[in-house]
Structure 1
Amino acid sequence: MTCSDSLLTSPSVTIVSKSTVVPAEPSSMADLKLSVSDLPMLSCHYIQKGGLFTRPPMNSSNLISILKNGLSIALTNFPALAGRFVTDSLGYVFITCNDAGVDFVHATAKNVYVRDILSPTDVPDIVKEFFTYDRTVSYKGHFQPLMAVQVTELADGVFISCAMNHSVTDGTSFWNFFNTYAEICRGVKKITKSPEFSRDSILISPAILTVPEGGPVVTFNEREPLRERIFSFTREAILDLKSKVNNRKFSTVHPSIEFIGKQSNDPYNDGKMTSKIENWIRNAVNVSKPQSLNETETMAVEISSFQSLSALLWRCVTRARKLDPSKTSTFRMAVNCRHRLEPKLDPLYFGNAIQSIPTVAVMGDLLSNDLRWAAEQLNKNVRDHGNDTVRRCVAEWESNPRTFPLGNFDGAMITMGSSPRFPMYDNDFGWGRPVAVRSGSANKFDGKISAFPGRDGGGSVDLEVVLAPQTMAGLESDPEFMQFVSSC
């Protein structure tokens, strides 16, 4: 490990040292070919996520030693992160697991307190300085580390962040590494979730992505004026919202019909059980015998909590934008394909295994219909995104290989990223769980939303909302939206 001299980077954050950390043991892993889910991310920024912690019960020297040693051991289990990109003579891009190492940055912000991060209305700009590789495009993994850790000591806490190449990991793989890193630092001898590095699925393609000279660039304005807020929703508020969304279909029925409706489509149920469930549903809602099973299925569709919340956000942001009602609005959701493919990928498959689901609606329809209508549009697209659709998307990309067009191109788009299912608070480095989770400036534009689990768990959700200033003001004054918000 080599250290640089101290360097003042801003009035608040001072870089104390910058080191290179390599795996504790040499890697024997073969080169890993980038997949049809990895390659499109070459034009996206590195993922930047991290946790805000209270002050650890140790001095600075011991803290940095523990975090560096833990990182070195963690890289032994995730050798791809210590490698670099190489493009062969045919144009295929690989990760070569050459143990070149990752960056480790030690910084201080002694005049910044935990309350300064949590209290303001908007996420303060200082948070962006807790991350390295700011606005770094993933293609640059050919020339620089694929990952960096920055540890920033605050007046009464510490912020631990990772910047990770988006063509190497999606959110599932990112948080598996972060969780593993934390458990190693707190003394766990055997990691609980080993990553799976196979490259033998349909995602590994013979198609070649041609990149422009100098490499791809992001497809959105990195410097547009934006506001960023964290809106928190308690479990009770989300259950209330879900109830309202499902009320039009289930108002006269016992709440358990939502669960039973799911069971009627469970492939593990036999025909007799399905028949009983259909009869129960028909009797419960006091309707005549449906003409087909499809009618029963439509009647019994349950809108999930997250789809309900997404529909609420879609409607309210659209209203706040005050655009022409005849204009179309697009809501994009990233979905995990690991369990959607047949055969399924390992849940801990390391890499990107995500696809983007766009749902399009005319703004006038979105605002004139009730919330259930918006939620149904999202629900249908998610339900339909099974094995056949995943494979169709792969084939479509192979016919026209390209990087991912991330951004809000017509002023009416929303992109939902991350997930409240990610174990963002399962990160105890030895002195307790994070107080909060935050992200850097990576991949942010008007309409970019990131979903985090609430710290209290139990189904609570935090939404990191990035909008144009005038749109954010409209959302803040929208009674339909704010009635469900517990805190900002």
Structure 2
Amino acid sequence: MSSQSPTLVSVSTVFPHLKSTIGDLKLSVSDLPMLSCHYIQKGCLFTRPPMPITQLITSLKRGLSQTLTHFPALAGRLKTDGNGYIYIACNDAGVDFIHSNATHISLRDILSPTHVPECVKGFFALNLTVSYEGHFKPILAVQVTELADGVFIGCTVNHAVTDGTSFWNFFNTFAEVCRGARRISRPPDFSRNSVLISPAVLRLPEGGPKVTFSVDAPLRERIFSFTRESILKLKAKTNNGKWNRNDYGTGMDTVELMGKQSNDTLKVADGKVTAILENWLRNAVSRSQGTETALPPNQTVEISSFQSLCALLWQAVTRARKFPSSKTTTFRMAVNCRHRLEPKLDPCFFGNAIQSIPTYASAGDVLSHDLRWCAEQLNENVKAHGNATVRRFVEDWERDPRCFPLGNFDGAMITMGSSPRFPMYDNDFGWGRPMAVRSGRANKFDGKISAFPGREGGGSVDLEVLLAPETMAGLESDQEFMQYVSGC
């Protein structure tokens, strides 16, 4: 496959269909630390649309303009007032729209199961742009790249303006509008009245902050896919081969079993319900009759599917890095605070509402204990991150306002970003769901992992893994890890 970059066809500015009616939006204590991070770069790969490319470009521009009316912050710019407070000025300055051509690249090239081709990095605009630069660059850029047998729609968005939840709400709304929706299903909430809005001022160096990791370090990138069946097998192992009764409960417990995703549809083959759902139904009947099986005495903590997967990765990467047993390792996870705060934020709260939770353990402990022990360390930290902890994080930041130090500073860190709960495949611009989700160059360093839902749904997960070349080689030869990977 040719590694030739896409050819630029055109660049234009798209403005909101209607003028903004909201004022300046103050950046929060979750937004401000992201000023030193790259813009978010995520996009979707689609089959060839049933229309000429010129017609597609016109249609997408029109849909983007209409979508920006609902997301005016994305068409604005950052500004700093005389007191040092930073805002999004919703001034209708517009967004970049790029049309590029890469008809030498096919869907098959991009869907490689063993590596992410370098050409994908060319599917995104504003490469390696730091979020502070939103003061004088667009907050959003959309690039549409024509392929031999498909099209890639990539969005680059300022990370001080959106987190993953807000990003995918915009992306899916963009698709919804392009399909002809008269009313959007998830309007963003631009309220700025929570504890996240602080009187503290972030003092920045002249010219703005820089990223805190090397963008030139040698890395290998690969996507590891895990089927629903593989994840359930892993979860059963982590939970000592038994299912907690919460697996068969109601609400989010049941959804977690089935994948926690709005796009994770339960597959039913030949009219027969899967054995797991049958077990759940039997358990529901037992509960109604008061005859459910009691929890085993040693089975008091439920480990989720995703925590089980994170624990597997933590152990495997630690083995591959070949640390002495005394070396402290860190597994860092981003958590959504919208539902953790009291009072809760709107699920469609626009902006960053995330905090980063580090879990520490020596390499010796990570490797000498079983999978459940590692997962329990992660589980305890996530479970403890409630309203009081979120507010304590805010107070800590207010005492020492600072940008987020993203990177792998001691060589022993893993940073999990994105989420398999994000509805990345819930977008159809009018000719079908995406074939795959891919990302650009942004915020990539040794140990950076991004979790995506698998396209087939049902709780399947794709992990985009960035590691030093020798560490990746070790991970790929680790049978304890690879036995769960699809196709291996």
TM over 0.5: yes
SS at match of 1:474: helix
Alignment TM-score, normalising by the size of structure 1? 0.90
**Residues 83 and 257 of structure 1, relative CA distance in 2, 3 Å threshold:** closer
Gaps of 5+ in 2: 254-286
Q: Runs of at least 4 residues of structure 1 off by over 2 A?
A: 254-264, 279-285
Measured at CA, do residues 13 and 388 of structure 1 come closer, stay the same or move farther in structure 2, by a change above 3 Å? same
What's the offset of the Cα at 1:487?
Answer: 3.8
Give, in whole Å, the separation in 2 of the partners of 1:179 and 1:385.
Answer: 29
**Whole-angstrom distance in 1 between the partners of 2:295 and 2:376:** 22
The answer as to whether partners of 1:233 and 1:487 remain within 8 angstroms in 2 is no
Q: Structure 2 length as normaliser, TM-score?
A: 0.90
What is the rounded CA distance, in whole Å, between the counterparts of 1:26 and 1:262 in structure 2? 40
Q: Deviations over 1:149-200 (max 9, x none)?
A: 0000001100001000000000000000000000111111111100000000
Distance apart, 1:121 and its partner CA? 2.1
For 1:71-470, what aligned pairs fall within 5 Å after superposition?
A: 71-119=64-112, 121-247=114-240, 250=242, 256=245, 258-259=247-248, 285=296, 299-470=299-470
Contact 2:42 2:440 in 1 (8 A): yes
SS in 1 for 2:177: helix
CA distance in structure 2 between the aligned counterparts of 1:417 and 1:376, rounded to whole angstroms: 19
Contact residue 29 and residue 198 of structure 2 kept, 8 A: yes
1:486 matched to which residue of 2? Answer: 486
> What is the count of residue pairs matched by the alignment?
452
Letter in 2 for 1:175: W
Q: How far 1:28 sits from its partner (Å)? A: 1.4
How many angstroms apart in 2 are the aligned matches of 1:356 and 1:132? Answer: 27
Aligned to 2:473: 473
Inter-partner Cα distance in structure 2 for 1:211 and 1:487: 48
Measure how far apart 1:300 and its partner are. 1.5
Give distance in 1, aligned partners of 2:112 and 2:474. Answer: 21
Indicate the percent of aligned positions where both proteins have the same amino acid: 70
Specify whether residues 255 and 222 from structure 1 end up closer, same or farther in structure 2 by C-alpha distance, changes over 3 A only.
same
Q: Aligned equivalents of 1:362 and 1:476: distance in 2? A: 23
> What's the secondary structure of 2:338's corresponding residue?
coil
CA contact (8 A) 1:261 1:302 kept: no
Q: Distance in 2 between matches of 1:487 and 1:356?
A: 32
CA distance 1:283–1:334, shift in 2 (3 Å): closer
Question: Counterpart of 1:363 in structure 2: which amino acid?
Answer: A
CA deviation map 1:253-284 (0-9, x unaligned): x65365569999xxxxxxxxxxx99x989955
Equivalent of 2:18 in 20, 25, 31: 25
Letter in 2 for 1:326: S
Q: Shift of residue 120 of structure 1?
A: 5.7
Change (3 A) 1:188 1:282: closer
AA aligned opposite 1:402: R
Tell me what 1:272 maps to: none
Q: Tell whether the 8 Å contact from 2:245 to 2:295 is kept in structure 1 after alignment.
A: no
Q: Which amino acid aligns with 1:47?
A: I
Give the letter for the 2:27 counterpart: L
Shift of 1:47: 0.1
CA shift, 1:37, in A, is 0.1
In the superposition, relative to structure 1, how do residues 192 and 367 fare at CA in structure 2: closer, same or farther (>3 Å)?
same
Structure 1 unaligned segments of length 5 or more: list them: 1-9, 265-275, 288-297
